[in-house]
């Protein structure tokens, strides 16, 4: 069984991408949890799972809405691409810390959705909302046992 976790902050523009994808998956009948991306909560969130999919906003210089899929078990993540969570200990740091502490799940996939604006109170970009839908549909297809 795959555990899906969407990360981010609903009140900071495109940083909401992961949480919005989790909500969309929920509406599609796929269990998906929301998380701030804070390290301990993430590690607790995937504890015991065989397979985990994370969704988070990233900033890598690509156009807004670009979707990048990483296999964090294969290589360290580019930490500079990830939007910091509580006190800069966010998704990338959680994964790297979990790697050192041997707390990574056996299978882990990370969907990064390129964001453009992260200011307090701003709405998500239209491109990011489109990407959220694409990511949700793709994850729903590959995790839905009836598909």
Partner 1 sequence: MSTPRNRTIKVDYMARVEGEGALYVKMKGERVEDVQLKIFEPPRLFEAFLRGRTFSEAPDITARICGICPIAYQMSAIHAMERALGIDVHPMVRLLRRLFYCGEWIESHGLHVFLLHAPDFLGYPDAIALARDHKETVEMGLRLKKAGNQIVTLLGGREIHPVSAAVGGFHRVPSRAELEPLREELKWALDASIATAKLVSTFECITFEPDYEFVALRHPTEYPLNEGRIVSNRGLDISADEYEDHFQERHVKHSNALHSYHRGFGSYLVGPLSRFNLNFDKLPEIAQQVARDCRLTPPVRNPFRSIGVRAVELVFACHEALRILDAYEPPPEPRVKVRPRSAIGRAATEAPRGILYHRYELDEHGLIVTAKIVPPTSQNQPRIEDDLRELMPGLVAESDAEITLRAEQAVRNYDPCISCATHFLKLNLDRT
Q: Which residues bind partner 1 (CB under 8 A)?
A: 9, 11, 36, 38-41, 43-44, 79-80, 83-89, 93, 96-97, 100-101, 118-121
What is the nearest approach in angstroms of partner 1 to the Cβ of residue 70?
Answer: 17
Q: Which is nearer to partner 1, 92 or 136 (CB)?
A: 92
DSSP 50: S
Q: Are 35 and 41 in contact (CB under 8 A)?
A: yes
17-27 vs 126-143: helix axis angle to the nearest 10? 50
What is the nearest approach in angstroms of partner 1 to the Cβ of residue 2?
Answer: 23
Angle at the Cα of 76 from the Cα atoms of 75 and 78, rounded to 5 degrees:
120
Q: Which is nearer to partner 1, 43 or 73 (CB)?
A: 43
What is the nearest approach in angstroms of partner 1 to the Cβ of residue 118?
Answer: 6
Give the bridge partners for 54, in sequence order.
Answer: 5, 110
What is the nearest approach in angstroms of partner 1 to the Cβ of residue 37?
Answer: 9
Rg (CA), the chain: 14
Q: Which is nearer to partner 1, 49 or 118 (CB)?
A: 118
Q: Which is nearer to partner 1, 62 or 86 (CB)?
A: 86
- Cβ–Cβ contacts within 10 Å for residue 48, how many? 8
Handedness of CA 33, 35, 39, 44 (dihedral sign): negative
What is the nearest approach in angstroms of partner 1 to the Cβ of residue 105?
Answer: 17
CA 17/CA 10 separation, integer angstroms: 8
Q: Which is nearer to partner 1, 43 or 129 (CB)?
A: 43
């Amino acid at each position: 069984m795959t555990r899906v976790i969407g990360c981010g902050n609903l009140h900071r523009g495109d940083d909401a991408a992961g949480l919005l994808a989790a909500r969309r998956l929920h509406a599609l009948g796929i269990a998906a949890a929301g998380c701030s991306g804070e390290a301990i909560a993430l590690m607790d969130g995937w504890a015991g799972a065989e397979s985990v999919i994370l969704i988070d906003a990233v900033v890598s210089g690509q156009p807004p809405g670009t979707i990048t899929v990483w296999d964090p078990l294969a290589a360290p993540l580019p930490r500079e691409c990830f939007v910091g969570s509580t006190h800069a200990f966010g998704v990338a740091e959680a994964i790297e810390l979990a790697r050192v502490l041997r707390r990574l799940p056996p299978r882990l996939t990370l969907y990064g959705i390129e964001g453009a604006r992260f200011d307090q109170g701003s709405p998500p970009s239209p491109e990011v909302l489109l990407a959220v839908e694409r990511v949700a549909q793709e994850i729903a297809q590959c995790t839905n046992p009836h598909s």
